[in-house]
Structure 1
Amino acid sequence: MHSISTPDLTDAAPDAAVIELQFRNLGGLKQFAGRAVTIKCHEDNSLVKQCVAEPGDGRVLVVDGGGSLRRALLGDMLAEQAAANAWSGLIINGAVRDVDALGSIALGVQALGTIPLKTEKRGEGQRDVVLQIGGARIGPGDYIYADNNGVVVSQRALQ
């Protein structure tokens, strides 16, 4: 676990990008970091479900749901699976549900908001693509650092 705060990281590495969105920190881990795995989807979490079933190896799943707050891209069952498979956390440009349960799971979860509705599973979306979220470019393998202050993205490891 990376213990340096995101403000200290950006002070030390002014070239690092910051996602300029007001995420809510909803998981049991309030600070998390790891290499990015990227998904782009819209109101369909089929790829999220597939991804959290794989070994996470301390990585961070970054999901660009287009900012939609109409359907939850993550709930307690997928979060528990992600934690069990050693994912460090998820950054979701969209909504989640089961927030009381998410707060008790040893997983980082940041999202724009919450809604009780689940997604339909249509098998749509893209994985391992470059995302543009909140003014930041996030590519597969980039380094993600997240805490209560926000989310920092870097193409190199930050100390």
Structure 2
Amino acid sequence: MDIKTADLYDRYEDALRVCEPIFRDFGGRVRFGGPIVTVKCFEDNSQVKSTLAEPGAGRVLVVDAGGSLRCAMLGDLIAASAVENGWAGVILFGCIRDSREIGEMPLGVKALATNPRKSQRRGEGQRDIPVTFAGVRFSPGDHVYCDEDGIAVAAEPLT
């Protein structure tokens, strides 16, 4: 994907929701996008792991981890599973770990920060529900576009 969010905004301003600029790029791909799948969880990455183990078909997993900076919700093993299963990327309102390894993978990853502490696995969390963070509501099936300039979300695919 080589779509620029600034160009999309200029063309589709009324159709786009743009995230507040709070995310950093960690993946080997900075430009990525696709249909959204959502997970809401807090300091428990069970749903993140199980979702990214499924066929991704070019989709993007959007994770509302409550903005927690206390532990990582994505590491190199789960990210490698995402690559293997065809996910385009992950947007994580929380932290990752193994950032060097993730940075070498052909996967888009936007997150708040890094933290070496792993999350718990209690089997908690919700999937495929609307989530809101960074001033934007993300709904399953929406389309997300990410690049060096930020994150833009639309209800329909844009070209």
User: Is the TM value for this pair above 0.5?
Assistant: yes
> Could you say what the CA RMSD is over the residues aligned between the two structures, in angstroms?
0.7
5+ long unaligned stretches in structure 1: none
CA offsets 1:60-117 (integer angstroms, 9 cap, x no match): 0000001101010100000000001000000000000000001101100000001000
Shift of 1:135: 1.2
Identity of aligned residues (%): 51
What is the TM-score normalised by the length of structure 2? 0.97
**Cα distance in structure 2, aligned partners of 1:112 and 1:31:** 17
In the alignment, structure 1 residue 144 sits paired with structure 2 residue 144: yes
CA offsets 1:114-135 (integer angstroms, 9 cap, x no match): 1000001011110000011111
Shift of 1:21: 3.6
**SS across alignment from 2:13:** coil
Mapping of 1:78-157 within 5 angstroms?
78-157=78-157
**SS across alignment from 1:102:** helix
**SS across alignment from 1:47:** helix
**Cα distance in structure 1, aligned partners of 2:91 and 2:98:** 16
Aligned to 2:3: 4
**SS across alignment from 1:110:** strand
Aligned to 2:12: 13
Aligned to 1:48: 48
What is the TM-score normalised by the length of structure 1? 0.97
**Cα distance in structure 2, aligned partners of 1:44 and 1:21:** 25
- Specify the code of the residue in structure 1 equivalent to 2:150: G
How many correspondences in the alignment? 158
**Cα distance in structure 2, aligned partners of 1:62 and 1:96:** 13
**Cα distance in structure 2, aligned partners of 1:147 and 1:26:** 12
**Cα distance in structure 2, aligned partners of 1:85 and 1:52:** 7
5+ long unaligned stretches in structure 2: none
Aligned to 2:61: 61
TM-aligned CA distance change 1:41 to 1:21, over 3 Å: farther
**SS across alignment from 1:44:** coil
**Cα distance in structure 2, aligned partners of 1:148 and 1:68:** 23
Moved segments of 4+, more than 3 Å: none
